[in-house]
Amino acid sequence: MIIGYARVSTLDQNLDRQICMLNEYGCEKIIQEKFTGTVKDRNGLTKLFDVIRGGDTVVVESISRLGRKTLDILSIIQQIEEMEVQFISLKENMDTRTPTGKAMLQMMCVIAELERNLIVERVKEGLEASKRRGKKLGRPSLDKEKLEVALRMYESKEYSIKEIVEGTGISQGSLYRAIHKRKLLVETKTNDII
């Protein structure tokens, strides 16, 4: 089956041009989406992966319809390839059914891997520079007394989470982790007694 995927970023943009091109190509089904390409988890993309099967072909007007970031686009194309589905981009003239199309995809993957490695390297260099300047890295240590007060407030059932967070200065995430940890300890002690 030949399945088209058309996307625009905003609700007021029009999909007509893409749909026309996909119909002209011979797509039997077209999944349409109006959502930003900066987000990887999109309903239309999820639907596309639910619909495609090995031996199918996915067609887009341009690879930019899959997303904004090179790494995200390549990740999506690689997922499609892993499902033994062919990929065609009309604008870039990329067709993974051909040796040239496969070579283009491989070159893009090499560039994306280089980009990933450069990002990792820059992050490491930034962390090392921060350490040299004496900056303490990682989460700040939690004030145990404040956390204990927060837990007592929670257990009293007289305060909302918002009031506890504002009153103690403990983050909501830290409070929930402490509550969960305390519940696990109580359950473990109860199970040991039984």
Catalytic residues: 9
Task: Return the bridge partners of 94, or none.
Answer: 89
N-to-C CA span, the chain: 59
Which residues lie closer than 8 Å to 94 by C-beta, 6 or more apart? 63, 87, 88, 101, 104, 105
The tokens for 116 are 């990933």
CA distance 116 to 158: 49
Q: Residue 48: which of 15, 4, 13, 97 has the closest Cα?
A: 4
How far is the C-alpha of 153 from the C-alpha of 167, rounded, in Å?
10
Give the E-state strand segments of 90-173 in sequence order: 94-95
The gap from C-alpha 85 to its chain's centroid, in whole angstroms, comes to 22
**Phi, psi torsion values for 4, nearest 5 degrees:** -95, 150
